[in-house]
Structure 1
Amino acid sequence: MHRSRVYALLIDTPSPEADRAAAFWAAALGATARPLQGEEQFTSLHQAIPGLVTAVQAVDDAPRFHLDIETDDVEAETARLLGLGATQVSQWMECRVLRAPGGHLLCVLPVESDREVFEAQANTWP
């Protein structure tokens, strides 16, 4: 048995456009844009979507949105999603990048949120 929940919505933006995209999305969503120290590819959109980490991520790829799913068992959650029809695209450290049916990307990663938040909001899977 393991647990998981949606942790973040990432707005993937080609690197040359990331600053403009962060300014746009911050204004559009009534949020404050804050670069993340030590993770320069991310600009947090603080309080854009209450209860969900929201950020612009500079990427060397096409613009898109993707979800991060945090879990207490990356292997089990990846297997669950693969069983639902996702395919694994890559692995970066402990994070697994998957493609869902329909083509959307999602990442499976170890728990990032406060343990109390995770315990209160995560789904339990067999």
Structure 2
Amino acid sequence: MHRSRVYALLIDTPKDEAGQATAFWAAALGVEARPLPEEPQFVSLPGALAGMETAVQSVDDAPRYHLDIETDDVEAETARLIGLGAVQVNQWQECRVLRAPGGHLLCMLPVESEVFDREAKTWE
């Protein structure tokens, strides 16, 4: 048995456009952009979506959106989603990157939030 929840919506943006995209999304969503010095590829947009982290991520790829799912068992959650039709396409540190049916990316990562215990769903 393990638990998981949607943790974040990431706005993946080509590196050379990340500054402009960050300014746009912060203004469009009415929030203050906050760089994450420990993880310079991310700029947080706190308060943009209720109950979910939101950030601009600079990437070496095409623009897109992706979800981060936090879990207390990365291997079990990855296996559960693969069983539902996802395909693992990459691994970065402890995170697993999956492509869902339809082509959307999602990342499985260890628990990040303080609300995990209260909001996570339990899977068997």
TM-score category of the 2 structures, normalised to the smaller one: over 0.9
Identity, in percent, stands at: 76
Aligned to 1:16: 16
Q: How many residues align?
A: 124
TM-score by length of 2: 0.99
Q: How far apart are the structure 2 equivalents of 1:78 and 1:39?
A: 24
| Structure 2 Cα separation of the partners of residues 38 and 110 of structure 1 | 17
Determine the structure 1 residue equivalent to 2:101: 101
Question: What is the Cα deviation at residue 35 of structure 1?
Answer: 0.6
Letter of the 2:116 partner, please give it: F
Unpaired stretches in structure 2, ≥5 consecutive residues:
none
Letter paired with 2:108: V
Matched position secondary structure for 2:103: coil
Give CA-to-partner distance per residue, 1:60-92, whole Å, 9 cap, x none: 000000000000000000000000000000101
1:51 Cα deviation (Å)?
1.2
Matches within 5 A, 1:4-83: 4-83=4-83
Q: Distance in 1 between matches of 2:28 and 2:46?
A: 13
TM-score by length of 1: 0.97
Q: Which runs of 5+ in 1 are unaligned?
A: none
Q: Distance in 2 between matches of 1:37 and 1:47?
A: 19
Q: Aligned-residue CA RMSD in angstroms?
A: 0.5
Which runs of 4 or more aligned residues in structure 1 lie more than 6 Å from their structure 2 counterparts after TM superposition?
none
Amino acid at match of 2:71: T
